[in-house]
Structure 1
Amino acid sequence: MSADGATVSLPSFRGRRNLRQEITETLRGAVISGEMTPGVVYSAPSLAEQFGVSPTPVREALLDLAKEGLVGVVRNKGFRVTALSPQELDDITELRALIEPPTVRRITEAGVPARAIKRLRPLAASIEKAAARRDFIAHVTIDMQFHLALLELAGNPRLVETVKTLRTSSRIYGLRRLPEGEVLFNSSHEHAELLDLIEAGDADGAEALMRRHIGHVRGIWSEEAPTNESD
């Protein structure tokens, strides 16, 4: 199935710096959030038209995502978003649960400087704002920024890179099917609650909240996994 004539909810990047990086991050968020549909073939020119830029940086961004396994190259057609099975999503969630909650506990027990908490709070607020306006791409993108910045406080770059890979590999298929209301907003508010617990030195509470937060990805958002379609 081709998406040459389809429309994805994408921002305009006319006149922006770091164009390739911004487009890559936006397309990554679109894939993870389900805004770009698994099995559909997207062409660089059609996406570039929606971004308001030339096809070159979009094609380069899609090639970056292909290296990450988020899309596959369809010769002479474009790029197809890859789908994950429920078992693959379960495996990713399990690995994240093994890494992130105990790391958050360790960070909390070690103590986090007030300036670090202060730097994270605007990201937490931005996640809530994105959820309130149902901007799923921004929500996913800022959410990743928040969690990776938090984990960086553990001082283990390899751990952060591992979690980034797992998060990048995730798919939140159920986001668009969430009804209007408080479900997404309540989950988004957990970021601010997590910072409150860390700031208070509540390691038990921070670890438990992080574990529950990860569970939302599988239990609330990642519902039915679409399947890839043939050429």
Structure 2
Amino acid sequence: MGAEDRLELPVVGERQSLREQVAHALRAALITGEMRPGVVYSAPVLAAQFGVSATPVREAMLDLAKEGLVEAVRNKGFRVTELSDRDLDELTEIRQLIEVPTVTRLADPGRAEEFARLRPVAQEIVSAAERGDLLAYVDADLRFHVELLALSGNAHLVEVVRDLRNRARLYGLSQLYARGTLTDSGREHLALLDALEAGDAATVEHIMSEHIQHVRGIWADRPE
């Protein structure tokens, strides 16, 4: 891996296990597209950037391989899994089938207090978008959708969606920010909460469907 391929990775500390910290940092680099599909990354080279031994990096990479995010390349390292347009279309279809009806059923003014607890997370998404902090955007976006879906009471559904979102990384975020439209995408979360608190199921269904399709456009790095 040459100098031009060097990743901006943090030096990890001791609060979490090294394996967990490395996996989190690599997953973030995958989600934002800093680690590029098709490129082979060496565990010892990444370990040097993290300031740790190669062992926790290999262990973290194996965890990501189980999630389908990378694949092992014998005697070389790990390659970021490439997703085709068909893969992205199919993942989008699954998200539509699961998330749209699940979130629509949550629309109820009587649950306004639960939705209000998600508003600070939605605002985090907007704030991250405004300052171009892509890692914070992705982190807050994932927390928002997971916590919202958790209100359905179906833990298995939440884990399925979490896995889908991990596999279908958000491509094109930096280009979206450069075009000045990332903040608009972020504000969709606030509009969704408004509709949920109002008990407006039709609007919730519309926003969720449009939001998932918008995300598909981000993956493809092209506007809807």
Q: In the alignment, what sits opposite 2:214?
A: 216
Partner of 2:92: 93
- 2-side partners of 1:183 and 1:134: how far apart? 11
Q: 1:171 maps to which residue?
A: 169
**CA apart distance, 1:138:** 2.8
For 1:18 and 1:127, the matched residues in 2 are separated by 27
SS of alignment partner, residue 36 of structure 1: coil
Moved more, 192-201 or 147-156: 192-201
| CA-atom RMSD in angstroms | 2.3
Matched, 1:83 2:82: yes
Structure 2: runs of 5 or more not aligned = none
Give the 3 Å change call, closer, same or farther, for CA 4–160 of structure 1 in structure 2.
Answer: farther
- Give 1:153-164 correspondences, 5 Å limit: 153-164=151-162
Tell whether the 8 Å contact from 1:14 to 1:52 is kept in structure 2 after alignment: no
Alpha carbons of 1:78 and 1:208: their partners in 2 closer, same or farther (altered >3 Å)? same
Equivalences for 1:64-83 in 2 at 5 Å? 64-83=63-82
- Of structures 1 and 2, the one with the larger relative CO (CA 8 A, separation 6+) is 1
Q: Provide the C-alpha distance between the structure 2 equivalents of 1:59 and 1:111, rounded to a whole number of angstroms.
A: 48
5+ long unaligned stretches in structure 1: 225-231
Q: Aligned-pair distance for 1:28?
A: 1.7
What are the equivalent positions in structure 2 for 1:173-212 lying under 5 Å apart?
173-178=171-176, 180-212=178-210
d(CA) in 2 for partners of 1:7 and 1:129?
28
Q: CA deviation at 1:183?
A: 0.5
Aligned length: 222
Structure 1 residue identity aligned to 2:205: E
Question: What is the correspondence of 1:109-120 to structure 2 with a 5 Å cutoff?
Answer: 109=108, 111-112=110-111, 114=113, 116-120=114-118
Letter in 1 for 2:162: K
Deviates more, 1:168-177 or 1:14-23: 14-23
Normalised by the length of structure 1, the TM-score is 0.85
Give aligned-pair identity as a percent: 54
Residue in 2 that maps onto 1:40: 39
Give the Å deviation of 1:219.
2.0
For residues 75 and 216 of structure 1, what CA distance do their matches in structure 2 show? 37
